[in-house]
A and B are shown apart, each in its own frame.
Chain A
Amino acid sequence: MIDYDSLLSREAQAIKPSGIRRFFDIAAEMDDVISLGVGEPDFKTPWRIRRTAIDILEQGRTNYTANAGLVELRKQAAKYLSRTIHTSYEPQHEIVITVGGSEAIDLAIRATVNPGDEVLVVEPSFVCYAPLVRLAGGVPVVIETKAEDEFRLTAKALREKITDRTKLMFLPFPNNPTGAIMRREDLESIAGVLRETNVFVCSDEIYSELTYSGKHVSIAEIDGMRERTIVINGFSKSFAMTGWRLGFAAGPEPIIKQMLKLHQYQIMCAPSVSQYAAVTALKHCADDVAAMREEYDMRRRFVVDGFNKLGLDCFTPQGAFYVFPCIRSTGLSSQEFCERLIYSKKVAVVPGSAFGECGEGFVRVSYAYSIAHLKEALVRIGEFVKEIRNG
């Protein structure tokens, strides 16, 4: 018998599986669950994009592309960045097309982090940052954001965590799971702290197109920050292209050069059909994006209002497609709330604690669903909360 324990990598084994896996298994096995759990759009990829992919398949253009991605796609990505975040990148040397934003995150870490380096992770946030930092030998250092700051990162909280070993900071806004965004003035004050240091920023802007009442602002636009920032974006959320697995990173050449080298050994290139389709997305689909944003915006208002009426305080998020209501008034922990809700009312939401310790006391609710679906879910959650409060 082979001894798997001695076979397995100690680093891999040390990574904790996601704490709520068990909860998702429950949800998957139950019938008629109303889910508010998924983190992907309910829209289909706009037809024009799908059409391009069909044409490309028909023509048999299914080979590898350049390692960094199709030249045309990098050019379009550069145009897109200059249009949306008013920052120019040179398509040949400052942009790499990746397998989703996820790969770009991993590349950014491994291109910069040496063993023992500290990496700041703003929480609550997407769950991949800390494990990937550890795999690279880095030390994740959590910066907690708070409901009273509308889950924005403050200069004060940042300053407290910077040491002379701090190498990198992840700035995940618009934020999953809170829906928080950073306004220009918030970014200015963060930049004020960072400019005096040697800390590099990895700005995960995958939800940038889903910013409501106002335009998304990137930290790369702030004075002096372009040279110390990698911008990560992608097609999954903005163009409803999750399954196409396509993203990109843009930043200063010395960093992109290292990222590209790792990407080339690890992945070769992002899927070619997806890349051709993404050219169409960037060139022709701004109207589709705007229409989806408008629809999400209506649902956002509907859901925020719904939770506040149930007495579950919910700040009005300005980005992504999540709301993050506080459930402390029920006396339950996030985990208990979610488990009891799914067993008694068959509604699935995600415990806030899954996104970092400071998410405890909150739940993540996705509104990537129809109004009719959201309405029914809110009715059931309302019944549940009433039953809990009446003991």
Chain B
Amino acid sequence: MEKLLKILRKNARLSAEELAVMTGRTPAEVETQIAELERKGVIRGYSAVIDDEAFDDDSVLALIELKVTPQSQSGFDEIAARIASYEEVESVRLMSGGYDILVSVIGRNIREISQFVNQRLAAIDAVQSTTTHFVLKSYKENGIIKTDPEKDERGMIFP
């Protein structure tokens, strides 16, 4: 299973048959395993890694640090779940250190993101403060390098 996840993490578009050949199993076994991983929630989905800069120059990625007052019953979970339910939000993480929750948001422009911070995040009672960082350039995402791919410098040295 670990092997399967390692392959899928890099390339989720290989067919069950190809995965079966690579891991020395039958396609049916691979399909069962993947179904199992999906059912258990280990595999949460399959998404393309899109370079937003290449697709749309104007989109903006922001990382927003939140200081949050923990709730008596649920701690940070309830607030984090609420933020995670917002469509604009790409990721929500509980952090150790100087703040509590880190949110990443993709917007069409800076104004859209400031509106989101003002109206959706700052408006939550438990949120004490927000610090917004706009991302200037992204070099690697989801393990995939976004700058020009490295050239294969190996020569045709014989043999």
**Beta-carbon contact of B154 and A350 below 8 Å:** no
B112-155 interface code vs A (CB 8 A; 1 in, 0 out)? 00000000000000000000000000000000000000001011
**Beta-carbon contact of B22 and A301 below 8 Å:** yes
**Residues in B whose Cβ lies below 8 Å from that of A35:** 152, 156
**Beta-carbon contact of A294 and B156 below 8 Å:** no
Cβ of A353 within 8 Å of any chain B Cβ, yes or no, is no
Give the interface size bracket for A toward B: 20 to 34
Task: Provide the bound-state CA to CA distance between A293 and B22, in Å.
Answer: 13
Give the interface size bracket for B toward A: 10 to 19
**Beta-carbon contact of A40 and B22 below 8 Å:** no
**Beta-carbon contact of B155 and A38 below 8 Å:** yes
> Which of A19-27, A192-200, A219-227, A274-282 has 4 or more CB atoms under 8 Å from chain B?
A19-27
Residue B159 contacts which of A176, A301, A371 (CB distance < 8 angstroms)?
A176
**Beta-carbon contact of A20 and B158 below 8 Å:** yes
CB within 8 Å for A301 and B157 given contacts A371-B14, A372-B11: no
Q: How far is the CB of B60 from chain A (nearest CB, A)?
A: 30
**Beta-carbon contact of A39 and B157 below 8 Å:** yes
Cβ of A384 within 8 Å of any chain B Cβ, yes or no, is no
Residues 257-294 of A contacting B (Cβ, < 8 Å): 294
A138-150 interface code vs B (CB 8 A; 1 in, 0 out)? 0000000000000
**Beta-carbon contact of B154 and A42 below 8 Å:** yes
**Beta-carbon contact of B3 and A294 below 8 Å:** yes
Nearest 8 CB-CB pairs, A to B?
A: A298-B22, A305-B21, A24-B156, A38-B154, A302-B22, A301-B21, A39-B159, A301-B22
**A-B contact sample (5 more), CB < 8 A, given A298-B23, A350-B158:** A37-B156, A38-B157, A301-B22, A301-B24, A371-B10
Chain A residues close to B by CB (< 8 Å): 18, 20-21, 24, 27-28, 35, 37-40, 42, 126-127, 176-177, 294, 298-299, 301-302, 305, 348, 350, 354-355, 364, 371-372
15 sample A-B contacts, Cβ–Cβ < 8 Å, listed by A number = A18-B158, A20-B158, A24-B158, A28-B156, A35-B156, A38-B154, A40-B154, A42-B152, A42-B154, A176-B159, A294-B3, A354-B158, A354-B159, A355-B159, A371-B10
